[in-house]
């Protein structure tokens, strides 16, 4: 069963809520980064919300996903808790990765979210592997890899899709074509216009959907998921979408003009979907406003949660390297700590 | 007097939607479309008189690349904005209407309809690359280019090789209306979702402007019951119900032949209207869901003054022999 | 699963080659844990290009002994993803020289996932791969790159020098919830020795083994050089008393066993087929300097490949691939 049904009113409202939550989370994260409260690199998902939410709504909770460096949207769409996500962005012990991962590596294995990923194109082989586990163990779950347009040029993505196709693995490869691979337009990185056309070389279905339309993504992923569960193998879906922000926060964006952004914003995935729900009577204007303010409060609370959460103890840097620890790390740690290095200056 | 000119439009999105997964629809890739467009440019050489070609730009840059690589003075790009949506087709059609003698369009029923709405009396050579194609013809691009050139140069009289394709219209009692080239459907769903109608069982009914046994979708269902040619000027209304006592076999989507329950049907002569009263439904045209309606009456009626479509066989039947045919014969 | 030594229910042994010992380890682990599967190029119907997996496909079928495309990034990555989701894959990379093809999945996924995710994921994947020169396979099929993997945080690396070590370490590697690289020197497959038959037999990862006791000099060796060093020790018996240690595990490394030995002998030769600079030799020497500086009686010696690739033609290959004679020469430098 899909986790959220677009066929009923409550489902559609939940889909809208999740898209709004992503937008609010990422807008807030962008502000906090600009203010210097969040360190490191932050890649925002604003503009692409329909892809993550449309896809994850079509998945069962047992289904796996792999994500990208632009992963906050996938996390929220998969049902992760904004408090613990924000805590991870703040480097807190209560974050999903105990502060070891940060924005680019949020993962929640219990939610079958196998991690955001700092390496472009690294998720698809992992999804192929998760799908292999499902097939090997005779499970009913599938694995969906989110990947960007840039990743389509990566060799390991080809290898992952070829393997999944050859073995009829229950996988879905969802290309989020946001039209820029880092700072270079997609059409300067690929010699095909529709990235879904690569599917033909694997003898699997490939098609392009409007990634600004959550219903289009949802239906496509639902069909692909059914196909995967029926043992018919993987599907490649390209969602045509757009990121409103830079590749990373602080990106000067010399590569595009504001007109393009405006053009895409006219088809904003949240506004258009909200409008449709209001037109249909699924939601009133007042209820939409109420939803927006609830979400704003929720994200504000997440920020407070993160600010108040404990930082990890420096000694935790030595944890989690192995299931069966090695003496080397214990020894090096004890030497450093005996010297007072890595002490409690923070 | 400007040289005879043909327009060329390629829908980059045709043949790439989700129906590649749900049915047996074939895939149409960009490279194939670009090659087909290049074939059109070659095909126009079959006419004795020179022909200019104006190519519409598109979101997939197929038209743009075709022009750039043709590098010939008689091949130009149409100067219209590109937004990557079906509005591109409408804009191109409006521009073509003023300046070309025939248009070759690569796409499916949807693309052809988008063009038909704005194209006026310009003969339309619809070549299939789309999904549920009832209207366009699967023909090689070179052949399509040659046919267009014969019409544009006057070597073949357009009146001898074209017909008016009836359209079919759905009018909602809230004032909205929409026209399909071959079909309008009333779909038992409350939500448009993606545009493609994925499951034929979802149709409550609809209307068609043509009916023949070998057609795919609603016009094929109607074709199991009666025969209506696209230039008859009339249509067929269908009332479908999976539990109906009577059913017919039809090709519902590519790759699927199945029984379809028919609760009732009737011919629609010009002026006739069949009304569907629904609580919640979606109106589709040519296989694509378009309008959500609630507590409404939907009137379906044929519209005889549709676009002027080219019959390829008729073009070549009327086409002149080569200018030097007799000289060759004598030797 | 524990990698602690288990009490053998019997002391029975059988004579096996390294190849047979590895095959026995795979078979036993697949028989007792249905989450274990093997994949790699030609491991199934073909039986492995060096025959190691021969017979497993017939016993376990294609689901558990999977032939992959020639696609190291894809199937090593799939191994990582499968391990992260509850499978226990044993991935064969036919030649270690091909590990670079799958470098990304090893470096940034396999090695880092547990740590990056705050310890919330297990990574029970084993990579089996062949190393070493000596069969005229030339530079792209003869390398010994195990230092890279022993060096890279988050990975464990083992290099058995005997059939018993091969079986015991591979079984531990498969049972481990950490990624373990199992490096097989391809010239050793026919080397035979006594191997315990008990299906519960394992060897802990991180323990070296004193294969021969001696008083004058310690030879710390890996893989093929363990056997060749034992031969040298036998030759020198009565003249020089040579202690020979099979390191077995490069990471973690058993510093204590090595330190105990050098405390006794005061002299050490490190013999490992990897390139000499910046490698396994350097790490072992450093640990001895750090831990047993005042026990050293002579400069520590390194035997390895002299920082070249492995050439094809046999006079060239023989020149750079280290052997017992090089160990003997090194011993003569310090005794």
Q: What would the pLDDT profile of C129-140 be if each residue is shown by its tens digit?
A: 999 999 999 999
The pLDDT confidence band at residue B17, using thresholds 50, 70 and 90, is low
Element holding B10 (H helix, E strand): strand B5-10
Q: Active-site positions of C?
A: 72, 141
Look at residues C211, C209, C218 and name the one whose alpha carbon lies nearest to residue C295.
Answer: C218
Cα separation values, B277 from A7, B200, B258, B294, C8, Å: 21, 20, 27, 10, 81
Contacts 24+ apart (CB under 8 A), B85-89: B85/B59, B86/B110, B86/B111, B86/B114, B88/B56, B88/B57, B88/B58, B88/B59, B89/B9, B89/B11, B89/B56, B89/B114, B89/B115
Q: What is the CATH number of the domain that holds C244?
A: 3.40.50.920
Look at residues B240, B213, B248, B207 and name the one whose alpha carbon lies nearest to residue B227.
Answer: B213
Place of tokens 């408090």: A83
Which of A126, A309, A334 has the highest number of chain C CBs within 10 A, making it the mutation to test binding with C? A126
Three-state DSSP state, A162: helix
C-alpha–C-alpha distance, residues C321 and C199, integer Å: 36
- C222 and C296 together in one domain: yes
Q: A314 to chain B nearest CA, in Å?
A: 51
- Chain C contact for A96, CB < 8 A? yes
Look at residues C72, C74, C7, C1 and name the one whose alpha carbon lies nearest to residue C36.
Answer: C1
pLDDT surpasses 60 at B78: yes
Tokens of B141: 């691009």
- Chain C contact for A107, CB < 8 A? yes
Domain containing residue C269: 209-334
- Beta partners for B172? B298
Buried b (16+ CB within 10 A) or exposed e, A195-232: bbbbbeebebbbbbbbbbbbbbbbbbbbbbbebbbeee
pLDDT for position B201: 80
Are chains B and C in contact at 3+ CB pairs closer than 8 Å?
Answer: no
Tokens of A235: 């599907």
For residue C2, being part of any structural domain is answered with no
- C107 and C221 together in one domain: no
Nearest to C117 among A107, A323, A324 (CB): A107
> C104-119, pLDDT tens digit by residue?
999 999 999 999 999 9
Q: What is the mean pLDDT of residues C8-14?
A: 77
Q: Is the peptide bond before A194 cis (omega within 30 degrees of 0)?
A: no
Domain count, chain C: 2
Q: Which residues of B touch A213 (CB under 8 A)?
A: 194
- C180 and C214 together in one domain: no
Q: A115 to chain B nearest CA, in Å?
A: 28
Three-state DSSP state, B12: coil
Q: Which residues of A touch B62 (CB under 8 A)?
A: 193
Q: Are B181 and B165 spatial neighbours (Cβ–Cβ below 8 Å)?
A: yes
Can you spell out the DSSP letters for B169-236?
A: EEEETTS-EEEESSEEEEES-S---SSB---GGGEEEEEES-B-TT-BSHHHHHHTT--B-TTSS-EE
- By C-alpha distance, the chain A residue nearest B193 is A215
C106 CB neighbour count, 10 Å cutoff: 28
Q: Which residues of C touch A234 (CB under 8 A)?
A: none
- C168 and C297 together in one domain: no
For residue C8, being part of any structural domain is answered with no
pLDDT surpasses 50 at B326: yes
| Per-domain boundaries in chain B | 5-164+307-330, 167-303
Element holding A80 (H helix, E strand): none
Cβ distance of A280 and B292 shorter than 8 Å: yes
Q: What is the mean pLDDT of residues B77-87?
A: 86
Q: What is the mean pLDDT of residues B271-281?
A: 93
* Helix/strand/coil (H/E/C) assignment for every residue in chain C: CCCCCCCCCCCCEEEEEHHHHHHHHHHHHHHHCCCEEEEECCCCCCCCCCCCCCCHHHHHCCCCEEECCCCHHHHHHHHHHHHHCCCEEEEEECCHHHHHHHHHHHHHHHCCHHHHCCCCCCCCCEEEEEECCCCCCCHHHCCCCHHHHHHCCCCEEEECCCHHHHHHHHHHHHHCCCCEEEEEEHHHCCCEEEEECCCCCCCCCCCCEEEECCCCEEEEECCHHHHHHHHHHHHHCCCCCEEEEECEEEECCCHHHHHHHHHHHCCEEEEEEEECCCCHHHHHHHHHHHHHHHHCCCCCEEEEECCCCCCCCHHHHHHHCCCHHHHHHHHHHHC
Between strands A235-240 and B246-253, the pairing is unpaired
pLDDT for position B131: 58
Q: Which residues of C touch A309 (CB under 8 A)?
A: none
Please, what is the Cα angle at A343 between A340 and A346, to 5 degrees? 150
pLDDT for position B202: 85
- Beta partners for C195? C14
State the count of interchain CB pairs (< 8 A) between A and B: 77
Look at residues C231, C156, C232 and name the one whose alpha carbon lies nearest to residue C3.
Answer: C156
DSSP A195: G
Q: Where does a domain end: C196, C229, C255?
A: C196
Q: Are B207 and B268 spatial neighbours (Cβ–Cβ below 8 Å)?
A: yes
Chain C (178-197) residues lying within 8 Å, Cβ to Cβ, of chain A: 178
Can you spell out the DSSP letters for B23-73?
A: S-PPP--HHHHHHHHHHHHHHGGGSSS--EEEE---TT-HHHHHHHHH--T
The stretches in chain A having pLDDT less than 70 are 1, 339-346
Which among A6-20, A240-254, B6-20, B242-256 has the top mean pLDDT?
A: A6-20
C89 CB neighbour count, 10 Å cutoff: 28
Q: Where does a domain end: C171, C196, C221?
A: C196
- C131 and C253 together in one domain: no
For residue C203, being part of any structural domain is answered with no
Four-way CATH pick for A9-312: 3.30.160.100, 3.40.50.2300, 3.40.50.970, 3.90.1170.50 = 3.40.50.970
Nearest to A122 among C109, C118, C123 (CB): C109
Residue C283 falls in which region: left (phi positive, over 0), alpha (psi -120 to 50) or beta: alpha
pLDDT for position B238: 96
Between strands B5-10 and B102-107, the pairing is parallel
pLDDT surpasses 80 at C99: yes
DSSP A314: G
Cβ distance of A160 and C78 shorter than 8 Å: yes
C-alpha–C-alpha distance, residues C172 and A247, integer Å: 44
Question: What are phi and psi for residue C316, nearest 5 degrees?
Answer: -75, -45
ipTM value for the complex: 0.93
Q: What is the mean pLDDT of residues B240-261?
A: 91
Q: B193 to chain A nearest CA, in Å?
A: 5
- C85 and C173 together in one domain: yes
- C323 and C225 together in one domain: yes
CA C40, C44, C49, C53 torsion-angle sign: positive
Chain B contact partners (≥3 CB pairs within 8 A) = A
B213 CB neighbour count, 10 Å cutoff: 15
Three-state DSSP state, A163: helix
pLDDT surpasses 50 at C281: yes
C-alpha–C-alpha distance, residues B28 and B50, integer Å: 31
Chain C contact partners (≥3 CB pairs within 8 A) = A
- Chain C contact for A319, CB < 8 A? yes
Nearest to B193 among A197, A219, A240 (CB): A219
Look at residues B3, B77, B4, B94 and name the one whose alpha carbon lies nearest to residue B37.
Answer: B77
Q: What is the mean pLDDT of residues B275-290?
A: 90
- C181 and C129 together in one domain: yes
Tokens of A25: 């989370």
pLDDT for position B18: 67
Q: Which residues of B touch A219 (CB under 8 A)?
A: 18, 193-194, 198
Q: Are B77 and B63 spatial neighbours (Cβ–Cβ below 8 Å)?
A: yes
The domain defined by B5-164+307-330 folds into: Rossmann fold (3.40.50)
Look at residues C172, C176, C244 and name the one whose alpha carbon lies nearest to residue C208.
Answer: C244
> C26-82, pLDDT tens digit by residue?
999 999 999 999 999 999 999 999 999 999 999 999 999 999 999 999 999 999 999
Q: What is the CATH number of the domain that holds C182?
A: 3.40.50.970
The pLDDT confidence band at residue C1, using thresholds 50, 70 and 90, is very low
| Per-domain boundaries in chain A | 9-312, 313-346
- C41 and C190 together in one domain: yes
Q: Regarding the domain with residue range B167-303, which homologous superfamily does it belong to in the CATH classification?
A: Probable inorganic polyphosphate/atp-NAD kinase; domain 2 (2.60.200.30)
- C20 and C125 together in one domain: yes
Q: Which residues of C touch A117 (CB under 8 A)?
A: 109
Q: What is the mean pLDDT of residues C225-248?
A: 98
C-alpha–C-alpha distance, residues B33 and B20, integer Å: 17
pLDDT for position C144: 98
C-alpha–C-alpha distance, residues B144 and A190, integer Å: 30
Residue-level length of chain C: 335
Which of A219, A221, A236 has the highest number of chain B CBs within 10 A, making it the mutation to test binding with B? A219
Q: Which residues of A touch B195 (CB under 8 A)?
A: 216
Cα separation values, A14 from A22, A101, A292, B202, Å: 12, 28, 12, 25
Cβ distance of B60 and A193 shorter than 8 Å: yes
- Chain A contact for C315, CB < 8 A? no
């Amino acid at each position: 069963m899909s986790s959220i049904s677009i066929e009923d009113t409550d489902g559609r409202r939940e889909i809208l809520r999740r898209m709004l939550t992503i937008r609010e989370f990422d807008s807030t994260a962008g502000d906090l980064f600009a203010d210097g409260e969040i360190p490191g690199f932050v890649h925002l998902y604003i503009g692409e919300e329909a892809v993550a939410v449309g896809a994850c709504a079509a998945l069962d909770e047992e289904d796996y996903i792999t994500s990208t460096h632009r992963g906050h949207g996938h996390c929220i769409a998969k049902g992760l808790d904004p408090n613990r996500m924000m805590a991870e962005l703040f480097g807190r012990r209560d974050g999903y990765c105990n502060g070891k991962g940060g924005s680019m590596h949020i993962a929640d294995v219990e939610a079958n979210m196998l991690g955001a990923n700092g390496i472009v194109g690294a998720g698809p082989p992992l999804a192929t592997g998760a799908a292999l586990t499902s097939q090997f163990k005779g499970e009913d779950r599938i694995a969906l890899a989110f990947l960007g347009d840039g990743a389509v040029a990566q060799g390991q993505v080809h290898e992952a899709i070829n393997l999944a196709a050859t073995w009829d693995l229950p996988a879905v490869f969802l290309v989020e074509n946001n039209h820029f691979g880092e700072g270079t337009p997609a059409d300067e990185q690929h010699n095909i216009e529709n990235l879904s056309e690569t599917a033909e070389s694997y003898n699997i279905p490939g098609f392009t959907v409007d990634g600004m339309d959550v219903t289009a993504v949802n239906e496509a992923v639902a069909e692909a998921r059914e196909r995967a569960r029926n043992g018919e193998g993987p599907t490649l879906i390209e969602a045509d979408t757009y990121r409103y922000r830079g590749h990373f926060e602080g990106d000067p964006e010399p590569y595009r003009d504001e007109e393009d952004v405006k053009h895409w914003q006219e088809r904003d995935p949240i506004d258009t979907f909200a409008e449709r729900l209001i037109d249909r009577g699924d939601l009133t204007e007042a209820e939409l406003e109420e939803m927006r303010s609830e979400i704003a409060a929720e994200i504000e609370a997440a920020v407070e949660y993160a600010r108040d959460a404990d930082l990890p103890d420096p000694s935790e840097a030595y944890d989690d390297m192995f299931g069966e620890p090695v003496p080397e790390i214990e020894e090096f740690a004890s030497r450093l700590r005996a010297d007072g290095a890595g002490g409690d200056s923070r | 007097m400007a040289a005879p000119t043909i327009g060329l439009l390629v829908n980059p999105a045709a043949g790439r939607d989700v129906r590649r997964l749900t049915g047996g629809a074939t895939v149409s890739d960009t490279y194939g479309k670009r090659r087909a467009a290049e074939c059109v440019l070659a095909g126009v050489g079959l006419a004795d008189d020179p022909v200019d070609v104006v190519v519409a730009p598109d979101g997939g840059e197929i038209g743009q690349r075709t022009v750039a690589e043709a590098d010939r003075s008689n091949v130009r790009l149409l100067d219209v904005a590109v937004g990557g949506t079906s509005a591109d087709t409408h804009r191109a059609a409006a521009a073509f209407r003023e300046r070309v003698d025939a248009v070759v369009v690569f796409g499916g029923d949807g693309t052809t309809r988008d063009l038909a709405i704005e194209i006026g009396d310009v003969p339309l050579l619809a070549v299939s690359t789309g999904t549920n194609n009832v209207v366009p013809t699967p023909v090689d691009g070179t052949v399509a280019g040659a046919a267009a050139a014969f019409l544009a140069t006057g070597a073949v009289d357009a009146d001898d090789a074209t017909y008016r394709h009836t359209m079919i219209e759905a009018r909602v009692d809230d004032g909205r209306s929409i026209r399909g080239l071959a079909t309008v459907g009333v779909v038992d769903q409350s939500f448009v979702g993606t545009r493609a109608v994925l499951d034929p069982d979802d149709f409550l009914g609809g209307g068609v402007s043509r009916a023949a046994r070998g057609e795919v979708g609603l016009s094929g269902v109607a074709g199991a019951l009666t025969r209506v040619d696209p230039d008859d000027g009339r249509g067929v209304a269908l009332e479908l119900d999976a539990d109906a006592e009577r059913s017919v076999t039809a090709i519902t989507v590519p790759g699927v032949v199945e029984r379809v329950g028919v609760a009732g049907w009737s011919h629609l002569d010009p002026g006739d209207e069949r009304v569907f009263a629904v609580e919640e439904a979606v109106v589709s045209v040519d296989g694509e869901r378009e309008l959500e309606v609630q507590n409404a009456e939907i009137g379906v009626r044929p519209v005889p003054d549709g676009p002027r479509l080219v019959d390829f066989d008729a073009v070549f039947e009327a086409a002149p022999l080569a200018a030097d045919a007799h000289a060759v014969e004598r030797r | 699963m524990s990698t602690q030594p288990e009490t053998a229910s019997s002391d029975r042994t059988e004579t096996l080659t390294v190849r047979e010992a590895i095959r026995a380890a795979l078979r036993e682990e697949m028989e007792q844990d249905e989450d274990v599967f093997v994949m790699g190029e030609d491991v199934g119907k073909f039986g492995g290009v060096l025959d190691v997996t021969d017979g497993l496909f017939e016993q376990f079928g294609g689901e558990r002994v999977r032939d992959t495309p020639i696609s190291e990034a894809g199937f090593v990555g799939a191994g990582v993803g499968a391990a992260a989701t509850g499978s226990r894959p044993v991935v064969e990379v036919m030649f270690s020289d091909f590990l670079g093809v799958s470098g990304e999945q090893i470096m940034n996924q396999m090695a880092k996932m547990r740590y990056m995710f705050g310890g919330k994921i297990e990574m029970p994947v084993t990579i089996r791969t062949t190393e070493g020169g000596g069969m005229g396979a030339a530079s792209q099929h003869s390398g010994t790159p195990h230092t890279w993997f022993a060096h890279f945080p988050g990975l464990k690396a083992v290099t058995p020098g005997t059939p018993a070590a091969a079986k015991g370490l591979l079984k531990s590697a498969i049972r481990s919830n950490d990624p373990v690289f199992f490096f097989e020197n391809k010239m050793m497959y026919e080397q035979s020795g006594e191997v315990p038959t008990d299906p519960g037999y394992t060897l802990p990862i991180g323990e070296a083994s004193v294969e021969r006791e001696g008083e004058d000099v310690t030879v710390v060796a890996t893989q093929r050089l363990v056997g060749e060093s034992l031969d040298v020790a036998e030759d020198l018996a009565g003249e020089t008393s040579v202690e020979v240690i099979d390191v077995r595990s490069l990471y973690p490394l058993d510093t204590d066993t090595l330190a105990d030995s050098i405390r006794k002998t005061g002299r050490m030769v490190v013999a490992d087929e990897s390139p000499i600079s910046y490698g396994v030799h350097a790490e072992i020497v450093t640990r001895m300097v750090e831990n047993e500086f005042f026990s050293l009686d002579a400069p520590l010696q390194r035997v390895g490949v002299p920082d070249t690739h492995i050439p094809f033609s046999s006079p060239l290959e023989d020149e750079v691939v280290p052997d017992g004679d090089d160990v003997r020469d090194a011993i003569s430098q310090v005794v």
